[in-house]
Amino acid sequence: MTADIQAPVARTIPDRIETPFRRWKRWEVLLAGVAVAIFIFNAFASPHFLNASNLSDATYNFTEQGIIAFAMALLIIAGDIDLSVASIVAVSSTGMGAAATAGGGPAVLVVVGLVVGLACGAVNGFIVTRFRVPSIVVTIGTMSLFRGISYVVLGDQVYRHYPPGFDWFGQGYVWWVFTFEFLLFLLLAMAFAVLLHRTVFGRRIYVIGNNPVAAQFSGVRVDRIRFILFLLTGLMSGVAAILLTSRIASTRPTIATGYELQAVTIVVLGGVNILGGSGTILGVFIAAFVIGLVTFGFGLFNVPGVVQSIFTGALLIGVIALPIVWGRVAARLRAR
């Protein structure tokens, strides 16, 4: 008698790690609830919060960091990280300032910002994939390298003379109170969501983050995808440099200081596993709004920047520690 042959069961890589906490409520739903609660609190706490112009200005608190966070999310899901993004912003801005001083127009400055960002991402990706050095080690080194280039070029000087029209990228309005920067943030959020969740390339990112060795033996070009992700992170840092430089109309070596911490905080708060393998762009998108609302609320109450930095650091530690603590508690409850 011939035994019945069952068809193999198709297996998929999940977008997120399922824990008792996640099965009870999706992280994105909780984040959305937190964002609404913060919005309501700010509305009652300050009579100036619901002003349309003020809400428009509030988007500047997270759009640039959020754009970097979208690319950073893909990189972290794949098991890597880039801590040099703020320094890439600085060196890209320095390149644009030098081009403006040489007489370059807005289009030239945009190209310079993007090319410098891509070049920095290529340096990170090449060292990580070619020499097998952990990404955290490489990007800590290039964080100092890229920022050091800005200090060498600028010294104690400041680039301020940017051509007419360049300010529109960071200050211009597309319609009513909707800035070009905010609309670009929305478009990039949709583009990254499609890339991660609706393409073969995105599925391979999850596979690499879960098990890079298995991915390699399955025919996935692991190093090529990792290199592309570093390029993408550098490119988005270049985009952020264009927006930030255009908005503040100046370039200093200290520009974008702390952006790497804020980007990582947005990514982790958005539910991306810091060890790789899971996460969604929707979570990162909502987390950017949460950070922006909190930062804007601090500004309304004249909270010093040092306190804001303390809050960001504590939030990052708390979000990373919460799933670990919850997992241990759940395991003890199951053991009983």
Residue 15, pLDDT > 60, answer no
CA distance 334 to 336: 5
Mean of all residue pLDDT scores within the chain: 90
For 27, 101, 160, 199, the CA distances from 249, given in Å and listed in that order, are 38, 13, 6, 38
pTM, to two decimals: 0.90
pLDDT for 324: 75
Euclidean distance between CA atoms 248 and 75, whole angstroms: 29
- Rounded CA-CA distance 155/237 in Å is 22
pLDDT digit string, tens, across residues 136-149: 999 999 999 999 99
Per-residue pLDDT band at 268 (split at 50, 70, 90): very high
- End-to-end Cα spacing for the chain: 46
Q: Which residue has the tokens 């300050």?
A: 46
Q: What is the per-residue pLDDT for 20?
A: 39
Q: Give the torsion through C-alpha atoms of 275, 277, 281, 285, to 10 deg.
A: -20
- Alpha-carbon 257 to chain mean position: 15
> How would CATH label the architecture of 20-335?
Orthogonal Bundle (1.10)
Tell me: pLDDT of 3 over 70: no
pLDDT band at 9 (very low <50, low <70, confident <90, very high): very low
Predicted pLDDT of residue 8: 47
pLDDT value, residue 176 = 85
pLDDT-derived band at 308 (thresholds 50, 70, 90) equals confident
pLDDT at 234: 98
> How do residues 101-144 score in pLDDT, each as one tens digit?
999 999 999 999 999 999 999 999 999 999 999 999 999 999 99
